[in-house]
Amino acid sequence: MVKTSTSFVLEAPMEIVSKVMNELEEFLEALPYVTDVRHERDGTWVTMTFTKLFMKHADTYKVESLRSENSVTFELLGRHGTIVIMVRADAENGAVKVSLEAHYSGRSEGLVKEKLVEILNSIRKFLVERISEELEYAPQIRKVFGRDLELSDVLSVSILLLSSTLLKSIKVPPGESVYRYIEKYVGEGRGLLLITIEADGARARLLIDNGRIEGAYLEKGLDNFVGVDALDEIRRLEGPASIKVWLVVEKRGGERQGETA
């Protein structure tokens, strides 16, 4: 058996750390040497195929997960070996200590240890970046709605990918993580993002550039700021870098409120 472990401390609330830990299964499925991910219809288990980039031979693993309030364990059962990945969060002096551990038993153990270290480093990077985003975005969302949004509060989220032309419009399914979709479509090379969030009868549009909320823009009304016309409106501005953080809220009864930061 080969084993590796690491730990680090985050200055973040435990509830945010736990929330992001729930996204780890999707993160593992997106690793560069994972392919052919198959979900059973009842959602009880997943299979993932690791390519030869992971070891000299490809293998298909059945993935089983065990979750508790502040920990998650993945057991990957393959034909040639078994991988176990454990992530645990513990409160420590007002912060959160995250412990990561992975071990493998089976064929080519010497080759796999390096990949286990790579997986843990990738998990650490993912957790740090995602939690940082939660800490950055949550206060902005709170400014609009007066509190943090629970998934059950979110009625719909629309994301418009903007460049020289309107690329596509994405609808986030009810109950899905808003931040997960923001994180997925934010990044260099994506152009500008215009994100619409609706909850409890309120609606806000956020303009995001290169991963940062630059503001939300309203001129003729929220309903008119949708589609290709929005590109012309954005071009009339001085540029994304000069836009103040301006969050616009439309509540029941048509009342509008705006805040700057």
More confident residue, 154 or 220: 154
Q: What is the mean pLDDT of the chain?
A: 65
Lowest mean pLDDT among 99-103, 199-203, 216-220, 243-247: 243-247
pTM: 0.56
Average pLDDT over residues 92-108: 89
CATH 3.30.530.20 fits domain 2-137: yes
Rounded Cα–Cα distance for residues 133 and 153 (Å): 20
Rounded Cα–Cα distance for residues 193 and 159 (Å): 7
Highest-confidence segment of 44-53, 56-65, 170-179, 229-238: 56-65
102 pLDDT tier (thresholds 50, 70, 90): very high
More confident residue, 187 or 62: 62
Which residue type is seen at 113? Answer: K
Q: What percent of the chain has pLDDT over 70?
A: 44
Residue 36 clears pLDDT 80, i.e. is over it: no
97 pLDDT tier (thresholds 50, 70, 90): very high
Domain boundaries along the sequence of the chain: 2-137, 149-260
pLDDT of residue 147: 56
Rounded Cα–Cα distance for residues 226 and 109 (Å): 54
Residue 100 clears pLDDT 90, i.e. is over it: yes
151 pLDDT tier (thresholds 50, 70, 90): very low
Give phi and psi for 31, each to the nearest 5.
Answer: -60, 145
Rounded Cα–Cα distance for residues 176 and 197 (Å): 12
Rounded Cα–Cα distance for residues 14 and 91 (Å): 7
Lowest mean pLDDT among 43-57, 160-174, 209-223, 241-255: 241-255
